[in-house]
Amino acid sequence: MCAAEMDRHVAQRYLLKRRLGNGAYGIVWKAVGQRSGEVVAIKKIFDAFKDKMDAQRTFRETMLLQEFGDHPNIVHLLDVIRAENDRDIYLLFESTDTDLNAIICKGTLLKDTHKHYIFYQLLRATKFIHSGRVIHRDQKPSNVLLDASCLVKLCDLGLAHSLSGLPEGPEGHALMEYVATRWYRALEVLLSSSWYTPGVDMWSLGCILGEMLAGRPLFPGASTLHQVELILEAIPPPSEEGEHVCGGPPGTRDTEGQSTQLWEGQHLPDQD
């Protein structure tokens, strides 16, 4: 931990306790208010507005957390502080003890009661976000914060997107950006569909639930193609009768029940 990494005017207000994580985009510390004694998480974002995509992600996270942060299962954004260089910014959040990914990796800490309670809270948070016509788009265990009483705080709304004002078609809303960590992406996202619905969040939630139950990721694809293969091995394509019920076009199966047109011509991107 290096106090020099934090601007002086921020260090005067908060005492750094330990570094929680760091990456190409920033650093996260656990800190304590010098006067209040409040424990917080401080996220320093480097060059937050250096390009359009980074600026958009930072703006989204800040604005959406201000809108949704009163929900008990969504992390509270406490403050936004500008850095002295006018490029970096600090986001101050309520502090939690750990995240779901760390708990799953430890093995046997989660009992069935914990799993039920965690998933119930995730559903509550997701329903609240969807009621505001917003899709989270990056739900995964590391974005599910937990405290010692098993209280869930969904975080990281940087990839979230409002559906309001977007063109809508028969398959959902037009969204074309790169979203979600690969292991938790729905098929329509993996296949680069430009139309999808809040169902992509529900797929991610299903993957999280399966990971809690199995103790390991359900679909740990090494590439986009491998990810699709793992999903199709576990979940067979719908029957022709099911396609008609769901509005699928007739004639998308051959006589042996295998797909003949469903994936034909679909380009699988090389994104990570």
Strand partners, 253: 259
- As a whole number of Å, the CA-based R_g of the chain is 21
What's the angle, vertex CA 109, arms to CA 117 and CA 65, rounded to 5?
50
153 labeled part of a ligand binding site: no
Instruction: Report how far residue 220's alpha carbon sits from residue 204's, in angstroms, rounded to the nearest whole number.
Output: 13
Q: Which of 7, 70, 79, 138 is catalytic?
A: 138
Q: Kindly state the helix (H) or strand (E) to which residue 230 belongs, with its residue range.
A: helix 224-234
The beta-carbon contacts of 3-11 under 8 Å, at least 24 apart in sequence, are 5/44, 6/42, 6/44, 7/81, 7/83, 7/84, 7/88, 7/90, 8/84, 9/81, 9/84, 10/42, 10/81, 10/83, 10/90
Q: Write out the two tokens for 107.
A: 């093995």
Judge whether 138 counts as a catalytic residue.
Answer: yes
Length of the chain: 272
Q: Are strands 77-82 and 89-94 parallel, antiparallel or unpaired?
A: antiparallel
Name the phi and psi angles at 190, rounded to 5.
-60, -35
**What 3-state DSSP class applies to 35?**
coil
Name the phi and psi angles at 161, rounded to 5.
-145, 135
The residues annotated with a catalytic role in the active site are 138
> Could you tell me which residues are annotated as the binding site?
44
The annotated binding site for ATP is made up of 44
